Structure 1
Amino acid sequence: MTLFSGLSAFSITPTDAAGRVDREALSGLLERIRSAGASSIGLLGSTGGYAFLSREERRHAVETAIASVGGRIPVIVGVGALRTDEAEALARDAKAAGADGLLLAPMSYTPLTEEEVFQHMAAVAKAGDLPLCIYNNPGTTRFVFSDDLIARLAEVPNIAAIKMPLPADGDFRREIARLHARTPAGFPIGYSGDWGAAESLLAGGAAWYSVVAGLLPAEALALTRAAMAGNRAEAERLDQAFQPLWDLFKEFGSFRVMYAIAGLLGLSDAAPPRPILPLRPADIARVEAALDRVKG
C-alpha cells in the first residue's frame, strides 16, 4: 500500500484556551490510532484545527506526533496557510520534524484563480520535498479543483495524491475513472466526507481520509476493511451503525461533534478553539446515543 491509501485517521488537536497544544492528550489520541492499526495519521487537517494554530504550536504538534508514533505509523501533516511563504515554512518544519507526507489545501481570503493555486501548491511541494496530497475541500476553501488543474498538478514533482470531496452526483466509479484517465498511473484518489466512505471504497477509492477514525479508529477500520475487500453487505451494515453520527456531522459540522466525542470517551476535555462553541448539553446527549449505536 502507498502512503496515501487505506484508512487515514485525522485527529483533533487538543489545546488550551490560548491555543497551546496539550501534548500529553495529543500523544494519547495518536497512540490510540496507531494501536488500532490505521494506515496513517492525518495531523493538522481540518479536524486538527490547523487554521486556528500558530506556526509554533503546529510545530509542537508535529514534534509530539513524531515523538509518540513516528516510525510506527506514517504521519501526514497539513501545511495549509493563507500565504505561500508561510505554507512553505510549515512544509519545511514538518519535514524537519520527521513527517512522512504533507497535505495542502488552498486557503484564501481573496478568491484564488487556478493559476494562483497551481503556483502555490507547486511551490509548497518543492519546499517540503515530501510526498504531498492535494486537499480538495471546497466546503471550507470555496475553491473547486477542475479536472484540468488536477491533471496539471499531478505532474508536479512531490505531488503524489488527491483527497477529494464526495461527488455531487454520488457516482464514485465514474469520477475515479475520469480522474485516473487524466493522472499518472498509480496516482491515488481518496475521499473525505465520512458518510460517503463505504461507497467510495467499494467503488475503488484508494483511501478514506476519515474524521471519525481520529477517535473511533477500530470501528472505522472495520468499515474500511470490509469495503476494500468488496464485502458490500458488511460494509453497509457497519455504515448503517454510523448513520446517526453521520447525521450529526451534517447538522453541526464534524469539528464540533468530534470535541463532544472526545469528552464523552474521556480522551480530552479540551474545548474547540473560539469562536467555535461546544455543543449544548442536549446535543451532546444525542452524540452519546449515536456513539452507543456505533459501539453496539
Structure 2
Amino acid sequence: MFTGLSAFPLSPLGRDGIDESAFIRLIKRLVSAEVDSICALGSTGNYAYLQADQRARITRLAVEHAVNTPVVIGVGALTTDEVLAYAEDAQEAGADGLLLPPMSYQPLRDDEVLTLYETVARSVDVPICVYDNPTTTRFTFSDTLHADIAQLPHIGSIKIPGVPDDPAEAAARVERLKAGIPKHVTVGVSGDAFAARGLNAGCDAWYSVIGGLFPEPALAITRAAQAGDGDKTAQLCDALAPFWMLYKQHGGSLRVIATAAEQLGLVGPDCLPRPLQTLDDAGRRSLDDVLNALNLE
C-alpha cells in the first residue's frame, strides 16, 4: 500500500465546520485519477487544528468515498492516549493504514518517540507510516531511531523530508536508510519539489501535497519513475518549478494549495483553520498566472 503516489487532500472548512461536500469532491477527484492511496488528516489536512469530532468525520468521509482506493489516516496528537483513540477510530472506520507523526509541545527525546511508536504499533492491526517532518514536528529522526522503529510490528513505511540535490548523494541517502530497516518497510519522499530526486534515488512512494489537488501531473511523475525513466521523471517535475517557487514564497505548500483549490471552485473561501489564511490578492494573481501557464485545473 505504501508505494506509488499517496495523495494528501485538504480538510476544507466552511462556516459550520468541515465543508463535507468540498471534501467529498476532493476525494472523488483523487479516486477518478486512480491515485495509489489517499492520506487524509496529514499536515495538508490540518489535523493539528481540528477537533476530535471533525477528525472523526473526515476519517469516515474519506473511507466512505474512496471506493477501492486505500485510505491512510493521520493520527498525530500531543498525547499517546489521544493517538491511541484516533487510531482506534480510524480502524473502526475502515482505514487501511495510519500516518503517525511525533507531535509535541515540549521537545521530545528519542526514547520518548520510540516508546510512542512501540505503544501504538502494539495496539493496532493496520500498517503505520512513520511521519518524519522536522519542519512541522520539530523532531529530527536519526537513522538509528528509524531502524529501531522499523523493527516494530505494523510499521510499513517511512515518510522522509526530501533528499540531497546531488543524485549520487540522494541515492546514497536512500540506500543508507534502507540498509537499516526491514525489506518490507518502504521509504517515501515528501516535499513536492524533491519528488523526482527522491523517486529516482530509490524511494518507493511519493507522499504528495500537489497530488492531493492535481493528481494527474503527480501521477505522471510517479509513473515515469516506476517505469525507470529517470530523465522523464526529472523533466516532468522540473516543469512544475514555478509551482514549487510559490511554495517557497509563501512559507510552504499549504496556503498555495488551499488558495488554488479556492480559485478552482473546489472549496469555499477561507477554507483554512484560523489563524491560517490563504494568499492575499498579489499572491492570488501570481498563483493564477502559474496555474494558467502550467494548465493546472
* TM-score, normalised via structure 1 length: 0.95
Amino acid at match of 2:244: W
- Alpha-carbon separation, structure 2, partners of 1:181 and 1:239: 27
Greater shift after overlay, 9-18 or 260-269?
9-18
Contact 1:259 1:270 (8 Å CA) reproduced: no
Per-residue deviation, residues 232-273 of structure 1 (Å, max 9, x unmatched): 332222212210110111221111111111011111114211
Counterpart check, 1:246 vs 2:253: no
Match of 1:36 in 2: 33
Identity within the alignment, %: 44
1:285 pairs with 2:282: no
Matches within 5 A, 1:16-165: 16-17=14-15, 20-70=17-67, 72-165=68-161
Unaligned runs of 5+ in 1: none
Give the Cα separation in 1 of the matches to 2:64 and 2:221.
29
Residue number in structure 2 paired with 1:194: 192
Q: Per-residue displacement from partner, 1:176-202 (whole Å, max 9, x unpaired)?
A: 111111111132011100001011111
Residue 264 of structure 1 corresponds to which residue in structure 2?
263
**Displacement of 1:228:** 2.2
Confirm or deny that 1:176 pairs with 2:164.
no
SS at match of 1:128: coil
Counterpart code for 1:275: P
Shift of 1:168: 4.8
Q: Map Cα deviations across residues 194-217 of structure 1 (whole Å, 9 max, x no partner).
A: 001011111111000000011100
What is the CA distance between 1:98 and its match in structure 2?
Answer: 0.5
Alignment partners' CA distance in 2, 1:33 and 1:109: 33
| 1:23 maps to amino acid | E
Q: Distance between the aligned counterparts of 1:134 and 1:9, measured in 2?
A: 16
In structure 1, how many angstroms separate the alpha carbons of the residues matched to 2:70 and 2:244?
Answer: 27
The answer on whether the counterparts of 1:14 and 1:270 sit within 8 Å (CA) in structure 2 is: no
Pairwise CA RMSD of aligned residues? 1.4
Following the alignment from structure 1 to structure 2, what is the Cα–Cα distance between the partners of residues 160 and 41?
A: 15
Question: Secondary structure of the residue that 1:42 maps to in structure 2?
Answer: strand
Partners of 1:9 and 1:69 in 2: CA distance: 12
**CA 1:285–1:197 in structure 2 vs 1: closer, same or farther (change >3 Å)?**
same
- Match of residue 226, structure 1, among 224, 227, 230: 224
Q: Is the 8 A contact 1:102 1:133 kept in 2?
A: yes
Bigger shift: residues 184-193 or 227-236: 227-236
Give the secondary structure class of the aligned counterpart of 1:162.
Answer: strand
Q: 1:294 deviation in Å?
A: 2.5
State the secondary structure of the residue aligned to 1:127. Answer: coil
Q: 1:249 to 1:178 in 2, by over 3 A?
A: same
Contact 2:155/2:185 (8 A) holds in 1: no
Give the conservation status (yes or no) of the 8 Å contact 2:163–2:197: no
Structure 2 vs 1, CA of residues 120 and 207 (structure 1 numbering), >3 Å: closer, same or farther? same
**SS of match in other structure, 2:240:** helix
Give, in whole Å, the separation in 1 of the partners of 2:221 and 2:194. 12
Whether the 8 Å contact between 1:94 and 1:128 is mirrored in structure 2 is no
CA drift of 1:169 comes to 5.8
When structure 1 is superposed on structure 2, of 91-100 and 179-188 the one drifting more is 179-188
Q: Using the alignment, how far apart are the partners of 1:76 and 1:4 within structure 2? A: 9
Distance 1:32 1:212, change over 3 A: same
* One-letter amino acid matched to 1:56: D
Q: Distance in 2 between matches of 1:189 and 1:35?
A: 26
> d(CA) in 2 for partners of 1:293 and 1:202?
26
Q: For residues 119 and 247 of structure 1, what CA distance do their matches in structure 2 show?
A: 38
Whichever residue aligns with residue 53 of structure 1, its letter is: L
